Structure 1
Amino acid sequence: MVNPFIRNNQYNLIKKQVGLLQHACNTVSDPKVIEAVRYSAQSKIIDALPGITEFQKQMLENISTLNTSGEFHQYLRSLEPYMEEFKQVSEKQIIKLFPKIKKMKVPDLTEIDYRYMTYLGWNDIALNKLFLVYYLNGKLVGVEGKCTPANKKGFCLFCKRYEEVAFLSVITKSKPANATPDYYKAIGNYVCVNSETCNKNITDVSALEKFIHNSW
């Protein structure tokens, strides 16, 4: 029986390390340099998945034996059955997260491969908004914000990659005890316009979780 244990962002990190090692194997002639890259890749992968079993650790450590393009490809393919799916959500659950939004356009949830998703995100052009759905500390939460395309590439807060970005501005839900009725606080940053692209890139959820936490 297969027990999934690799989340999407962790799989992306593994792919990144595999790519770096494969590039070194193809372009570097010094064996010591290659071994250093190999050791670094293996260490970063293991560090990114704390609490794994000895069997799972040995499976991941197989990266230390790879040399050819076919072996790198097969290594990644062998890990796919062990990818842990983002817990599926229904349209009803999503609508409940955003009670103030009338006639919400929810993405086609049947088209999603939940293995390759760290968070659910989509744009509503009519509302000029970006919506995020994520399990924060086991609880399903939703964040909505004004989305202003930058019309250029930039550094995404969530995935740390250089992609087409938009400025996401979110009005936080928390208020000080002595706040006036018209009090509000907004936070914002540049994030990927295309959430699917962001999900393919993200290797660490720290910035994503901090942003969502601060939105509440």
Structure 2
Amino acid sequence: MVKPFIRNHQYNLLKKQIGLLQQASNTVSDPKVVESVRYSARTKIIAAFPNATELQLQTLENISTLREPEQFHHYLHALEPHLIPFSQVTGKQLHKLFPKIKKLKVPDLAAIDYRYVTYLGWVDIATNKLFLVYHLNGQVIGIEGRYTPVNKGVCFLCNRHGDVALFSAISKSKPANASPDYYKAIGNYLCVNSDVCNKNITDVTALEKFVREVAGYHES
């Protein structure tokens, strides 16, 4: 039996590539074009799993057999048992991550399907704060920042155009000779709705870079 090996952002990439292939299969009459799309989809999917075992790769490469609409649906459905859920956090853990926030409002953790979560994010409108929690190299890291709604824009995490806010956080990383009042703010446009963002993110490179910069995280 294949152990869970697909993270949410990888599953989103799979869905995106499968969607492109299915669309080509349904609308393009030239078999060579369809096979070109199939090859591209397969290449991108395999590249997203550089550490996959032979058995895991076999599971992914079933894309080569997809032709009919029900096969595409079955393929994605069959991958769901292989999803690695976001490691659940408790309300107590969240309060420890943000000790300076005395009246921290946390999301309804029991209502979350952690299989489809890359990062945990929520907004406290009363304080104009946005909170983000991410697991990085075995550590649970919490980031808080100012939340400023803007007009439509592109989210730096999922690259989707939609409702975004400027998320500005103070970096904990300081130069060796920095003065006591030194600070550096890092801002990016982020989806207002983290559920939407989690459904669209296909790469965690930007997310992990942001978390490292803000948290002052350094690998040992």
CA distance in 2, matches of 1:20, 1:81: 23
CA distance in 1, matches of 2:136, 2:46: 23
CA RMSD of aligned residues (A): 1.0
Partner residue, 1:134:
134
Q: How big is the shift at 1:106?
A: 0.7
Give secondary structure in 2 for the equivalent of 1:147.
strand
Q: How many residues align?
A: 215
Q: How big is the shift at 1:55?
A: 1.7
Contact kept in structure 1, 2:5 and 2:84, CA below 8 Å: yes
Q: How big is the shift at 1:178?
A: 2.3
1:87-98 equivalence runs, <5 A: 87-98=87-98
Give secondary structure in 1 for the equivalent of 2:60.
helix
Letter in 1 for 2:175: P
Partner residue, 2:123:
123
* Structure 1 residue ranges, 4+ long, deviating more than 4 angstroms after superposition: none
Give ranges in structure 1 of 5+ residues lacking alignment.
Answer: none
Q: How big is the shift at 1:79?
A: 0.2
Give secondary structure in 2 for the equivalent of 1:58.
helix
Contact kept in structure 1, 2:2 and 2:55, CA below 8 Å: no
Q: How big is the shift at 1:196?
A: 0.5
Q: How big is the shift at 1:2?
A: 5.1
Letter in 2 for 1:205: V
Partner residue, 1:114:
114
Contact kept in structure 2, 1:2 and 1:81, CA below 8 Å: no
Query: Which deviations, in whole Å up to 9, do the C-alpha atoms of 1:55-101 show, x marking residues without a partner?
Result: 21111111111112111111000000110011111111111011111
Partner residue, 1:55:
55
Give secondary structure in 2 for the equivalent of 1:3.
coil
TM-score normalised according to structure 2 size = 0.95
CA distance in 2, matches of 1:173, 1:101: 17
Partner residue, 1:43:
43
1:60-209 equivalence runs, <5 A: 60-150=60-150, 152-209=151-208
TM-score normalised according to structure 1 size = 0.97
**Structure 1 position 6 matched with structure 2 position 24:** no
Give ranges in structure 2 of 5+ residues lacking alignment.
Answer: 216-220
